Every structure is written in structure tokens, then in C-alpha cells.
Structure 1
Amino acid sequence: MTADLMAVVLLLAVAAYACAGGTDYGAGFWDLLAGGAERGRRPRGLIDHAMAPVWEVNNVWLIFVFVIMWTGFPTLFQAVFSAMWLPLALAAGGLALRGAGFAFRKVVTRLAGRRLYGAVFAVASLVTPFFLGAAAGGIASGRVKLGTEASADAWSNPTSVMFGLLAVAATALLGAVFLAADARRFEAPDLVVYFRRRGLLSLAALVVLVVITLVITREDAPHVWHGLTHGAGLVLGVVAGAASLVTAWLLTRAPGGWVRASAVGAVACAVIAWGLAQRPYLLPTSMTVAEGAGAPTTLTWLAFVSLVAVVIVVPAVVFLYWLDTRGDLEELTETDLRQGGGPQEGDTAGTV
């Protein structure tokens, strides 16, 4: 019973990181595609101001995921990190480089340095979610088992590639939606239109990728495909689809808090649908929740610590998000947008 409870907590923590961290990755994705210095100055200025108050706290959810894995499900942790050490190491490297790029590009004075750190931040924002998604796809396809040695097939198979692309598209959607709402709050109508269009494009790409993924997983990950097309997995998938339609409708209007909620709901429901589709397995079809769980005493204490975190940490993080979305942490002026977060001349990270 305790093992099942902690498996649910683990899934919810993964969903929380997908939404919170995904929004940050999505902002970096649009930074990459913002264009040269003149064209991308205002979008990058908005991205810098929107991310600055909360970009570090989002990793709390990732740390929580790892703590639950290695403490509550050590066998799962061993299997995943043995078979997937390379994509996970690449994701970790991207996470570190992304943070360094975001921090240093705002303080260096030389143009070449700002270009370099801006490019590092933007590219790492694309690489990190892709490899995290690829690792999840390897698990979903059943290629990860206890004792599986690391190999390219474990994370470069069709399901892994599609999961990686889905992760990138989902983060792009979240980033565009949140930035469009921020642009409205900062009274920058041109950036509202800018990010609203990109949100709709991301949503369209996400829908296409979901359809392709379902086709591929039918042969490559049959257990997960069955779970996604039947029972609770299907229900959550339908809810995710409905939330996506609501998001599309709200993006055609004035984006605000509701479109953020619908986008987060769509991504969270999709992640939870994947978790429910794997039932009763942690690793389809080789490791059940009971087989991967740690000692009962450890699980009991882990449940207690998780409860303490829910009572103390989660409200504080939610309150921080609330302050940020209200604009109470930092104000943005037209002068800030004109100055931007990138170099004053030349290209930073892309030309799209």
C-alpha cells in the first residue's frame, strides 16, 4: 500500500517538473529561435524578466523525483541509471550549462561573451528536455530492465525519439503560453501576438507528434499503448486533449491566467496518463511497483517526509509562482524591453 502511494507521489512529482521546468525550457527554446540581436531584443528581454525570479526553484521538483527514486525505489533507480546513464548525463550537463548561460549572459560586458552564453543557454534548453524525454521513452518501450547494460538502443529507439520530440514540443507550448500572458501583463501587445502565434504553432506540432507517437507505440511499446487507449490512461488522455482544445481557444483571445491553467493541465494530464498506462509496472513489463520498492520502513519514513514537504515546501513554492505570475516580484518597463536580455548588436543564438 505504501509503495503504491509513493509511486503516485513520484508520478505527480514528475508531472510537476514537466510543467514547471518545462515552462523554463520552453522560454529558452523561444530564445533560441528569437533571431538576431535587433529582431530578438524584445522577446529576449521578456524571457529574461519572466524567468529571473523562479528559474532556479523549478529544479526543486527534479530533486524531489530523484530523492523518491533512490530512496523509495532503489531497484528502479539502479536499472534506469545503469541503462540510461548517457542521455541522463547529457541532460544533467545541459541543465548545468543552461543555468550558467542564463546567469552569465546577463553580467558579461563583452559582446562575444554575451553571444556565447546566450547560445549555450538556448541550445541547452532544447537538448535537456529532449534527452529527458528520450530516457522516458526508453522506459515506456520496455527496453530498460534490471541488469540491462547501457546501449544506444535503450534511448535512441523510435519511442524514445518521439518522447523526446514530445517533451520539446510540450515545453515550447508552455513557454509560449506563459510568455504571452506575461506580455499582456506588461502591456506589450506586439509580444502578445508574437508568443500567441508560437503557442498555437507549438500546440499544432504537439497534436501531430501525439498521433505519430500513438502509431509508433502500438508496435514498439504495446503495453503502454494499450494503457493509453484503455481505462484510466485513456480518460486522462481525453482530458489532456480537451485541455489542449481549451488552450487553443484561449490563445485566440486575450491570454491570461486561464490559458496558463489549461496548458499546464494538458501537459500534466498527459504525463499522468503515461504513468497510469504503465500500471502495474514501473518498468514495463519487467518490474512492478512492489518489485521495485524499497524496505517497508524506508517507504513509511519517505511517506512522512513527503507529507512534511507537501505541508511546508509546496505552499511556499506555489506562493512564489503566484507572486511571479501577478508581477509582484519584478516590474518590466518599455526601456527594459528595448534594452533586452541579449547583446546590443549581432546575432545571439539563432536566425529564425
Structure 2
Amino acid sequence: MMADVIAWLLVIVIAAYACAGGTDYGAGFWDLTAGGAERGKRPRWLIDHAMAPVWEVNNVWLIFVLIIMWTGFPVMFQAVFEALWLPLALAAVGQVLRGAGFALRKPTRRIAQRRVYGAVFAISSLLTPFFLGSVLGGVASGRVAVGTEASADAWANPTSLMAGLLAVAATAFLGAVFLCSDARRFGADDLVGYFRLRAWTAFAALVVLALVALPVTRDDARYVWDGLTSGLGLLMALLAGVCGLAAVLLLARRMYGWSRCSAVATVALAVLAWGFAQRPYLLPTTLTVSEAAGAAHSLRWLGIVTLIAVVLVGPALVLVYRLDTMGRLEPLTDTDTSAAGLPGDDQ
């Protein structure tokens, strides 16, 4: 019973990271596609101001994922990291470079250096969700089992490719929806329509990729396909589609706060659909939840510690997100940080 609870907790935390971290990855995607220095100046200005107050907070969910995996399901943790160490390493490198690029771009005055840091930030924001999605695809396809050796087939297969592309499209959709609301909050009325059009485009791409993924999943990940086309897995998938359409319609009606909620629900329900489709396996079709579970006392302590973390950290996270959406958190300006000009600035 405790193993099942921890397993569902893992799925919920993955959904939280996909939604919270996905908004930032999506912002990085639009940073990459914003255009040249002049054309992309306004969108990148908004992205910097929208992400700065809370972007590091979103990585808390990734830490939760790792802790729950290696404490609650050490056998699964070992199998996944042995078979998929390369895409996981690439995703981790992307995380580091992404954070460094974002942190260093803003205080830098030299245009050439800003371009370099901006490119590092934007490209890493594209690669990291792709590789994380490919890992989930490798697991869902049944190519990862206890004792599986690392190989390209484990993560460079049709299901992994589609999962990676879906992850990129989903984060682009989330990012654009959130940036519509942020544009209005920062008084950048010219950018509201700019990002609303991109949210519609990203949703269209998400739908096309989902349709392409259907036959791929049927042929390459049969167990998950059966779970997605029946029972609660099908229900979650249908609800995800309904919430996605609702987000698009709410954007058309300029109801940006509610569109955020619908977009988040779309991604969260899609992750839950995957969780229901895969049960009772953590590694289809070779390792069940009960087989992968750690020692009973470890699971009990993990449950206790998680409950304490939810009680102590949960309200703080809710407060931070609430203050950010209300516009109460503003990033420091160059004046605040006493950034000084250097010889060769603006060159």
C-alpha cells in the first residue's frame, strides 16, 4: 500500500515539474525563436522579467523526483540511470548551461557576450526537455529493464523521439500561455497578441504531434497504448485534450488567468494519463511497483518526510507563485545590482 502511494506521489511530482519547469523551458524556446537583436529585443525583455523571480524555484520539483526515485524505488533508479545515463547526462548539462546563460546574460553589457549567453540559455531550454522526454519514452516503450545496458536504442527510438518532441511542444505551449498573462501584467500590450499567436501555434503543433504519436505508440509501446485507450488512462487523455481546447478558447476571449490554469491542467493530466496507462509497472512490462519498492522502513520514512515537506514547503511555494502572478515580485535591475559599464560596451 505504501509503495503504491509513493509511486503515485512520484507521478504527481513529475507532473508538477512538467508544469512548473515547463513554463520556463517554453520561455527559453520563444527566446530562441524571437529573432535578431532588434526584432527579439522586446520578447526577450519580457522573458527576462517574467522568469527572474521564480525560475529557480521550479527546479525544486526535479529534486523531489530524484529523491523519491532513489529512496523509494532504488531498483528502478539503478535500471533507468544505467540504461539512460547519456540522455540524462545531456539533460543535466543542459540544466547547468541554461541556468548559467540566463544568469549571466542580464548583467552583461557587451552585446557580443549577451548573444553568446542568450544562445546558451535558449538552446539548452530546447534540448533539456527533449532529452527528459526521450527518457520517459524509453521507459514507456519497455526498452528499459533491470540489467539493461546503455545503448542508443534505449532512448533514440520512435517512442522516445515522439515523447521528446511532445515535451518541447508542451513546454512551448505552456510558456506562451504564461507569457500572454505576463505581458499584460508588465504593461507590454504589444506582446499580448504576439505570444497569444504563438500559444495557438504551439497547441496546433502539439495536436499534430499527438496524432502522429498514436500509431507510433501502438506499434512501439503496446502496453502503454492499451492503457491509454482504455480505463482511467483514456479518461485522463481525453480530459487533457478538453483542457487544451479550453485554454485556446480562453486565450481567444482574453481570459489569461484562466487560460493558465487550463494549460497547466492539460500537461498535468497528460502525465497522469501516462501514469495510469503504465500501472502497475514502473518499467513496463518487467518491473512492478511492489517489485521495485525499497525497504518498508525506508518507504515509511519517505512518506513522513514528504508529508513534512509538503506542510513546510508547500505553503511557501504557493505564496511565491501567488506573489509572482500578482506582480509583487520584481527582478533587480542593473541599477539595483550596481552593474558598471566596461570598455567596449555595446560592441
TM-score w.r.t. structure 2 length? 0.95
AA in 1 matched with 2:21: G
Task: State the Cα distance separating 1:209 from its structure 2 match.
Answer: 0.7
- Residue 38 of structure 2 aligns to a residue whose secondary structure is helix
Give distance in 2, aligned partners of 1:331 and 1:283: 42
Map of 2:251 onto structure 1: 251
* Contact residue 95 and residue 124 of structure 1 kept, 8 A: yes
User: Where in structure 2 are the equivalents of 1:69-80 lying within 5 Å?
Assistant: 69-80=69-80
Q: Deviations over 1:263-318 (max 9, x none)?
A: 00000000110011001000000000001110000000000011111111111111
Q: Deviations over 1:125-169 (max 9, x none)?
A: 000000000000000000000000000000000000000000000
Unaligned runs of 5+ in 2: 334-344
Map of 1:326 onto structure 2: 326
* Contact residue 174 and residue 263 of structure 1 kept, 8 A: yes
Equivalent residues, number: 336
Aligned-residue Cα RMSD (Å) equals 1.4
Map of 1:108 onto structure 2: 108
- Residue 282 of structure 1 aligns to a residue whose secondary structure is strand
Say whether residues 1:126 and 2:126 are aligned partners: yes
Map of 2:263 onto structure 1: 263
Q: Deviations over 1:13-67 (max 9, x none)?
A: 0000000000000000000000111111110000000000001011100000000
* Contact residue 184 and residue 255 of structure 1 kept, 8 A: no
Q: Deviations over 1:305-341 (max 9, x none)?
A: 11111111111111101110111111899xxxxxxxx
* Contact residue 134 and residue 155 of structure 1 kept, 8 A: yes
AA in 2 matched with 1:51: M
- Residue 58 of structure 1 aligns to a residue whose secondary structure is helix
Q: Deviations over 1:216-249 (max 9, x none)?
A: 0101000000100100100101110110110110
Give distance in 2, aligned partners of 1:147 and 1:320: 42
Map of 1:92 onto structure 2: 92
- Residue 148 of structure 2 aligns to a residue whose secondary structure is coil
Map of 1:193 onto structure 2: 193
AA in 2 matched with 1:56: E
* Contact residue 217 and residue 225 of structure 1 kept, 8 A: yes
Map of 1:313 onto structure 2: 313
Give distance in 2, aligned partners of 1:240 and 1:268: 8
Give distance in 2, aligned partners of 1:118 and 1:241: 33
Task: State the Cα distance separating 1:187 from its structure 2 match.
Answer: 2.4
Q: Deviations over 1:157-213 (max 9, x none)?
A: 000000000000000000000000111122222100000000000001001111111
* Contact residue 186 and residue 332 of structure 1 kept, 8 A: no
Task: State the Cα distance separating 1:6 from its structure 2 match.
Answer: 0.1
* Contact residue 170 and residue 267 of structure 1 kept, 8 A: yes
- Residue 107 of structure 1 aligns to a residue whose secondary structure is coil
- Residue 101 of structure 1 aligns to a residue whose secondary structure is helix
Task: State the Cα distance separating 1:345 from its structure 2 match.
Answer: 7.2
* Contact residue 109 and residue 346 of structure 2 kept, 8 A: no
